[in-house]
Structure 1
Amino acid sequence: MPETRLAGLYRAYIGCLNSQDWENLGTYVGQDVRYNGEMVGLDGYRQAREAEFRAIPDLHFDVQILIADETTVASRLNFNISPQGTFLGLLVNGRRISFSENVFYEFAEGKIASVWSIVDKAAVEAQLSAA
């Protein structure tokens, strides 16, 4: 089945994040973007993503599942990272952890307008307690 236009746009957005191309983030994310119900705006969204890359030098968004229709994208992202200090309120201190994020994006006028994210914190907790 051919990829929808929105799925291709989403993959380009993930490429923008992975290359830390912050100047072009507005190509994919709307000015009035909301994150988990909170209005953060493009500047706040960008600042949050930049902070993630500072705290997690090896951060890489790996799309495992991608489903898209005309206005919505559902994606399962996998991560295998080494956060510095704390992550999700847990003391990680550079240990390598693996987990998934289930995330839903609503698009308006060709840009991300709303993001709903659920991170598998239980998977991270289990890895930290096993050490």
Structure 2
Amino acid sequence: MADLEQRYRAYLTCLNERRFADLSDHAHDPVVHNGRTLTIVDFQALLKRDAHEIPDLHYAIETLVVQGDRVGCRIRFDCTPAEDFRGLPTAGRTVSFVEHVFYRYEDGKIAEIQSVVDTDAIRDQLTP
């Protein structure tokens, strides 16, 4: 279990350091993300898009649970999107939100991701 936690933390470090070329060290090709099968190139593009839209994006673990081949994490983001984010007019405004994400690992790599971003929290912050 400790090894899987270390692998997961290394994956988030990879994202925080914008080392998208190293994603194949952490995820299978293909990987299933919210029911969609993505090649590693498509997965890299998804994460690069997020980093482009939110230049100060930083994945901060709030809660981390590892059980068997599964990892569950509540990740906090305090950031300033440069563009609209998920259809919300956030450009230039600092927002805080969380993502609840569950991973299934195979052979030490992420095989499946199920993710929910709390867009209501963002919307609430943008409402005067």
Q: Deviations over 1:25-51 (max 9, x none)?
A: 110011010110000121111011011
CA contact (8 A) 1:105 1:115 kept: yes
Letter in 1 for 2:109: K
Normalised to the residue count of structure 2, the TM-score between the two structures is 0.96
Q: Give yes or no for contact 1:102–1:119 (8 Å, CA) kept in 2.
A: yes
TM-score normalized with structure 1 length: 0.94
The alignment yields a C-alpha RMSD, in angstroms, of 1.0
The answer for the alignment partner of 2:56 in structure 1 is: 58
Structure 1 stretches (4+) deviating beyond 3 angstroms? none
C-alpha distance in 1 between matches for 2:72 and 2:6 = 13
Unaligned runs of 5+ in 1: none
1:92 aligns with 90
What code does the residue aligned with 1:69 have?
A: Q
Instruction: Choose which of 112, 115, 122 in structure 2 pairs with 1:114.
Output: 112
Question: Post-superposition shift, 1:85?
Answer: 2.0
Whether the 8 Å contact between 2:31 and 2:111 is mirrored in structure 1 is yes
Query: What is the rounded CA distance, in whole Å, between the counterparts of 1:48 and 1:98 in structure 2?
Result: 20
Deviation at 1:22, TM superposition (A): 1.7
The equivalent residue for 1:104 is 102
* Matched residue count: 128
